[in-house]
Amino acid sequence: MKYKRVLLKLSGEALMGDKGFGIDNERLALYAKEIKDVHDSGVEIGIVIGGGNIFRGIQAEEGGMERTQGDYMGMLATMINSMALQAAIEKLGPQTRLLSAIEMKEIAESFIRRRAVRHLEKGRIVIFGAGTGNPYFTTDTAASLRAVEIDAEVILKGTRVDGIYSADPEKDATAVKFDKLTFKDVFDKGLSVMDMTAFTLCNENNLPIIVFDMNKPGNLMKVIQGSEIGTLVETD
């Protein structure tokens, strides 16, 4: 395996599958199987998942709700997705631990960096819920922060497209896919990879990002094995 410890970032929208809202059980089972296979190969894996399939703080703000309140509601949505993913993974055998940035002692452990690292060392899959625990920060930022904190070697951003393009490939047929980019390239070209806070955190800590298609079976394993799938973003 090319990587020993990774941080997998999944979007909440990815769990919808073909549905317009909520969680698609088939998609959830697919992700759980992919994660189990990677875990069984000996790779230590942490996971951050968004909550956009249930609720987004920005949506609340657009509707007139205070942004802070909306963001906390979004954090709760990530916990719902995290619990669903936890249950799906454990159904297949691996042990998991759900760590929350907001205290929810009945359903999750509170996030403590040393505890998270110890769980990984013991071979448990660690799911990080509730974002950073602070409003105005996205789950992309939470993924970058947790990856740095646990000394992950790479962030694997699983999406429904097979990499980073010059434009949205679902809307622009002329969009060109990039196989490799530097952080400077992404800044200069104005490409959308993560929000700027998350992206800058990765850049400053020399943490590479791989954007790939999570919906294609076997892709997660191939990326961790070192296959050139998706788009790699790294320092010069």
Domain membership of residue 230 (yes or no) is: yes
Domain membership of residue 113 (yes or no) is: yes
Q: Encode pLDDT of 86-103 as tens digits.
A: 999 999 999 999 999 999
CA distance 19 to 143: 25
Quote the distance between the C-alpha of residue 39 and its chain's center: 16
Domain count, the chain: 1
Domain membership of residue 198 (yes or no) is: no
Residues of the chain predicted below pLDDT 70:
57
pLDDT value for 64: 83
Looking at residue 125, which CATH number applies to its domain? 3.40.1160.10
Domain membership of residue 68 (yes or no) is: yes
- Between the alpha carbon of residue 207 and those of residues 90, 157, 182, 232, the distances in Å are 29, 13, 11, 11
Domain membership of residue 33 (yes or no) is: yes
CA distance 105 to 203: 34
Domain membership of residue 195 (yes or no) is: no
Residue numbers of the domain that contains 89: 5-183+205-234
Kindly report the pTM of this predicted structure: 0.94
pLDDT value for 193: 85
Q: Encode pLDDT of 20-46 as tens digits.
A: 789 999 999 999 999 999 999 999 999
